[in-house]
Chain A
Amino acid sequence: MKPVAVVWMTAAVLVLTSLWFIHSAPPAQAEAGAMAQKIFYFHVGSAWTAFLAFMIAAGYGMGYLVAEGKPGRAARCYAAIEVGFLFCTFVIVSGPMWAKPVWGVWWRWEPRLTTFLILWATYAVCLLVRATMDRPPVRDRVIAVYSILAAVEIPVVLASVYFWRPEAQFHPPRIELAAAFGLPLRWSMAALTVLFFTLWQLRSGVCLLEDRVR
């Protein structure tokens, strides 16, 4: 079996088993939102994966600027941004679906949600840069610099629960999880991380091919 097939199968098995874990995990709340709370496992897992993707993009962005002319690094930088953006989008979409039954509102301009939306919009601009700039060396340099600057937002999102007064917060500063919820969460995070690396490899290859035929 080809290595790429093994990676895809690993990702598929992990994601499917994580769904089984999520389904069999006990609901955290007995009252309203008992089932909707289970969105949490992929919501948090996707947020973690998006942060990891954007940090990897910043790393490859730095690598590209240091050793300019290596298109492989530029491709990996952009591919990490694009795949990370997918996970970021899922966080933005799934958040309100969890918030409505649990908090009673779809959205609120509280610090974590607002900073995360800004993060999503920042990386959306990066996708536009790739789609609209024609000359690869200049485009790749812009995306590399952009990936580093945009990554500064990650600690801002993480620390947003501490920046503003507690009354403005919907998100808790820390999540204390019982063992019954910890395993499905960690499993989901691992599954989504492997899925990210699988998609990242695929997208990096497509980016390189695109530039070769351009």
Chain B
Amino acid sequence: MNEGYFAAAYFVFWVIFFVYLIFLHWKLLQIEKGGGGP
């Protein structure tokens, strides 16, 4: 049971990290297209 909380917390950490990297990549693609985005 406790392993579940432990695994979930570290999973959330990696989700936040990788979603942010994807967000930054999307920003760079927007810039390449010529728009700064929000």
Chain B contacts with A in 1-29, Cβ cutoff 8 A: 1-3, 5-6, 8-10, 12-13, 16-17, 20, 24, 27-28
Identity of the chain B residue whose Cβ is nearest the Cβ of A32 in the assembled complex: B2
B5 touches which of A46, A101, A199 (Cβ 8 Å): A101
| Cβ of A145 under 8 Å from chain B | no
Main secondary structure of the interface of A (DSSP, over half): helix
Identity of the chain B residue whose Cβ is nearest the Cβ of A83 in the assembled complex: B20
Contacts of B17 in A (CB 8 A): 86, 195
Are B31 and A213 interface neighbours, CB within 8 A? yes
B10 touches which of A33, A42, A100, A211 (Cβ 8 Å): A42
Are B5 and A98 interface neighbours, CB within 8 A? yes
Question: Taking the nearest CB of chain B, how far is it from the CB of A34, in angstroms?
Answer: 6
Complex interface bits, A27-64 against B, C-beta within 8 A gives 1, otherwise 0: 00000111110110011001000000000000000000
Main secondary structure of the interface of B (DSSP, over half): helix
Number of interface residues of B (CB under 8 A): 22
Contacts of B13 in A (CB 8 A): 42, 46, 90, 94
Identity of the chain B residue whose Cβ is nearest the Cβ of A202 in the assembled complex: B24
Question: Taking the nearest CB of chain B, how far is it from the CB of A29, in angstroms?
Answer: 10
Number of interface residues of A (CB under 8 A): 33
Once A210-B31, A211-B36 are accepted as A-B contacts, the answer to whether A34 and B16 lie under 8 Å apart by CB is no
B residues with a Cβ closer than 8 A to A are 1-3, 5-6, 8-10, 12-13, 16-17, 20, 24, 27-28, 31, 34-38
A residues with a Cβ closer than 8 A to B are 19, 32-36, 38-39, 42-43, 46, 83, 86, 89-90, 93-94, 97-98, 100-101, 131-132, 195, 199, 202-203, 206, 209-211, 213-214
